[in-house]
Structure 1
Amino acid sequence: MKFVLAPDSFKGGMTAKEAANAMQTGLEKIFPAAEFEKVPMADGGEGTVQSLVDATNGRLIDNQVTGPLGTPVQAKYGILGNGQTAVIEMASASGIQFVNEQTHNPLITTTYGTGELILDAMSQGIKQIIIGIGGSATNDGGAGMAQALGAKLLDQNNHELPFGGGQLGQLDHIDVSGLNPAVMATKIIVASDVTNPLVGPDGASAVFGPQKGATPEMVKILDANLQHYADIINRDLHHDLANLPGAGAAGGLGAGLLAFTNSEMQRGIDIVIEYSHLKERAQNADFVFTGEGGIDFQTKFGKTPYGVAQATKSVSPNAPVIVLAGNVGAGIDSLYAKNAIDTIFPIVPGVTTLDQAIADGPKNLALLAENVGRLIGSIHHD
């Protein structure tokens, strides 16, 4: 019997690899001779680097870069097992975890450190970079990233703009003559499920600015500045990005990557499915187990369990897809569609605190996998 174990991470508790190991621990008690194909997954958000490194036997690289407040932070990225592809989470360098209630200020936060990670990956001889762009502390349209790559964003006095979305209104012209030559020679795949445009009521500033510390007055400034920035990009670089779906991701980093690099946007889960070779590894599966910390009606909009279900059903249509989740929310009926998820179980066995549930996660996941295995074993007498 072949089990494919393809969970996402359980946020705050288990990496995707640890979750897959816990599932195997439980199932092996019932099926000690079974084949287990473990494929750690992610959807382009937090945990994507670790999942793809684990899934491809790659390696992690640590680096000191410029954080969102302009001070040094420790960040890391991955190089996949093929040695040709790097995977970066922009949050590792420019994420909201580096600011707090006192220091968050999207007028000054920068994506410069994300650009430094991109440059470091290119220095390793990488030909392709996957960038997950969730969890940002920034609203600078990727301006800092572009500056790190060698672009000059200049005011009317030919002075380089300081960091932050609050400065973009001073932009007079863009000079890309100093852009690192490796930038356009490297293919960048942007992993994002965000479809917001750069500007306007659904744009980066209006929708995501407040959670990064923007007051209503700041939102107006930031949105106007991003519009001006988009106008200058359109004039100088011939990219019309203001209303492009996805350009507003990560405070406009989506727009910056599209403007200054050789990049394209894809759904995060689709990228991870491709680079983890999930479909190939799910050939001839008897059962597929997936899961993550929480599941609800939103799961069908690009989250890991739904993506895993669709991918594995395309190659092993008769293999039931079983989801084990930390928390089961509202509206899961919509997930039980044709060629998708077959059943969902919560792993928490009883009333408990969140901290205790996280601490007991691996044990509870293994126990639930064992119990589901007992049910399978009672039906399939192999």
Structure 2
Amino acid sequence: MSTTAAAVQRIVCVPDSFKGSVTAAEAAAAMARGARQVFGAAEIVEVPFADGGEGTLEALLAAWGRSAQTLEVSDALGRPVTAQYGRSADGRTGVIEAAQGNGLPQVSDVAPQPLRADTFGVGLIARALLDDPDCAEILLCIGGSASTDGGTGLLRALGAEFLDSAGDPVAPGGGGLSQISSVDLTDLDPRARTVEWRIAVDVDNPLTGERGAAAVFGPQKGATSEDIRLLDDGLDHLAEVLGAESGTDPQRLRETPGFGAAGGMPLALSVLLGARVLPGSQMVAEALDLRGTLAQADLVITGEGSLDAQSLGGKVVQAVRRYAPSETAVLVIAGGVQLGAAQCREAGLTAAFSIAPGAASLQDLLRRAPELIEETTAQACGLLRHSLS
């Protein structure tokens, strides 16, 4: 539906979080308040959004009107930790932020152990979701991981066993991957194969090699050059084993874009459970039926902390533009705008506005973010309304 001077009857506010200041839900509410100052008679819909990384659980639950649930699981080193997860309103969709069970911040109090860290705790969250008979799909949002185990820990929590040549279980974590000779799925929870798995990734790195999980992300997890070699060799070997087990070309597994995310977590889930790997913004858009929500919008308002080149590489702003009808105006409200007017037009954006009112410290901008988002949205809507009159 095209935006005309006659009326703006339906506005959809669909921002990401402004990291360090406001959540996506808070940003959407502030945008709605600003838009209401100008288009008071319009229907205004708030849709908190995310790209599959930090804040995705919160954004989905806010959109669904649900609260997070908590569960005692283990962190990447096997220590007790309280994790949050969620379910959709109808209970059919479960959401996991993997970092709740294998995140770097949880293990920052001890020396890095990149060869030992694993994803077992993430699997415990998945097991809790499988206990709900209504659960038909699991959305797994990965990122910020301390582990490089190819997803083997998660599968172990669901009953799979990764065995060495003597038939004994290998040690948990990426350090034991090279010892895996076979996979025993006898005790795998059968429910793990009846639900649909979707994995949100925000990088396109392959599993192994110079751009692989170990080489690129290993140093962030405390891996030395020798650790990186061992982890990369381990992932390479795991691809060989899983390829043989499933009849899949191991080289395809090594090179698939996104399989290097979160220490190669998509690998085992894709091969053994049929998980589908998607860009995070696409997964969230599908979960929220973003295309349907935007179909009748006369105006769409989106935004994030910084509008820059990365925003057009699979992040929230690009997803919103992709799912909105081509003739619908899309305004961007951002903490900072690094794109020029020509770049915005080329990306299909109507205009972009920074919330910075002038000389101000970062701390002041963060503190005043809700107020500034509301005011900037009102200013942008006022300008748009004038241009349409």
TM-score of the pair, normalised by structure 2: 0.91
Match of 1:337 in 2: 346
For 1:139, the aligned partner's letter is T
Aligned amino acid, residue 58 of structure 1: R
The match for 1:80 among 88, 103, 112 is: 88
Distance in 1 between the 2:363 and 2:179 partners? 47
How much does 1:379 deviate?
3.5
CA contact (8 A) 1:295 1:332 kept: no
Contact 2:130 2:191 in 1 (8 A): yes
More moved, 352-361 vs 168-177: 352-361
Q: Secondary structure at the match of 1:41?
A: coil
Looking at structure 1, the residues matched to 309 and 54 of structure 2 have their Cα atoms a distance apart, in angstroms, of 20
Which residue in the other structure is 1:318 paired with?
327
| Residue matched to 1:350 | 358
Query: Post-superposition shift, 1:57?
Result: 2.5
Which residue is 1:204 aligned to? Answer: 213
Aligned-pair RMSD on alpha carbons?
1.9
Q: How does 1:107-146 map to 2 (within 5 A)?
A: 107-125=115-133, 126-146=135-155
- CA distance change for structure 1 residues 8 and 170 in 2, over 3 Å: closer, same or farther? same
CA distance in 2, matches of 1:71, 1:102: 12
Aligned pair in 2 of structure 1 residues 102, 332: CA closer, same or farther (>3 Å)?
Answer: farther
The residue identity in structure 2 corresponding to 1:247 is F
Alignment partner of 1:155 out of 146, 164, 169:
164
Q: Of 232, 240, 259, which residue of structure 2 is paired with 1:231?
A: 240
Task: Give the total of aligned pairs.
Answer: 377
Confirm or deny: 8 A CA contact 2:356 2:372 kept in the other structure: yes
Aligned pair 1:253/2:265, yes or no?
yes
- The 5 A counterparts of 1:48-87 are 48-87=56-95
Aligned partner of 1:276 in structure 2 is 288
The answer to whether the aligner puts 1:309 opposite 2:318 as a matched pair is no
* Distance across 2 between alignment mates of 1:332 and 1:270: 26
Q: Distance in 1 between matches of 2:215 and 2:289?
A: 38
Q: 1:352, CA displacement in angstroms?
A: 3.0
**Structure 1 residues 301 and 331: CA distance shift in structure 2, 3 A:** farther
User: Is 2:274 aligned against 1:262?
Assistant: yes
Amino acid corresponding to residue 107 of structure 1 in structure 2: L
Match of 2:44 in 1: 36
Q: Is the 8 A contact 1:296 1:331 kept in 2?
A: no
Q: Structure 1 counterpart of 2:301, which letter? A: F
Equivalent residues of 1:198, 1:204 under 8 A apart: yes
- Indicate conservation of the 8 Å contact 1:12/1:358, yes or no: yes
TM-score normalised by length of structure 1: 0.93
Q: Distance in 2 between matches of 1:184 and 1:247?
A: 20
2:353 and 2:380 in contact (8 A); partners too: no
Query: What is the percentage of aligned positions where both structures have the same residue?
Result: 37
Kept after mapping to 2: 8 A contact 1:59/1:80: no
Question: Cα distance 1:320–1:75, how it changes in 2: closer, same or farther (>3 A)?
Answer: same
Q: Work out the CA distance in 1 between the residues paired with 2:173 and 2:43.
A: 52
Give how far 1:331 is off.
6.8
2-11 or 369-378, which moves further after superposition? Answer: 369-378
Q: CA offset at residue 129 of structure 1? A: 0.8
Residues 276-305 of structure 1 deviation map (CA, whole Å, 9 limit, x = unaligned): 122222233221100011121121111001
Report the residue type matching 1:133 in the other structure.
I
Is the contact made by 1:186 and 1:262 (CA closer than 8 Å) also made in structure 2? no
Cα offset, 1:29, TM superposition: 2.2
Unpaired segments ≥5 residues, structure 1: none
Alpha-carbon distance change, 371 to 233 in structure 1, aligned in 2, over 3 angstroms? same
Deviations 1:192-243 (A, max 9, x none): 1322221111211111111111121211111111112222222234343222
SS of residue in 2 equivalent to 1:281: helix
* 1:335–1:131 Cα change, 3 Å: farther
Residue matched to 1:183:
192
Local SS of the residue matching 1:146: helix
The verdict on how the C-alpha distance between 1:355 and 1:256 changes in structure 2, with shifts beyond 3 A counting, is farther
1:293 corresponding residue in structure 2: 305
Write the letter of the residue equivalent to 1:47: G
Gap runs ≥5 in structure 2: 1-7
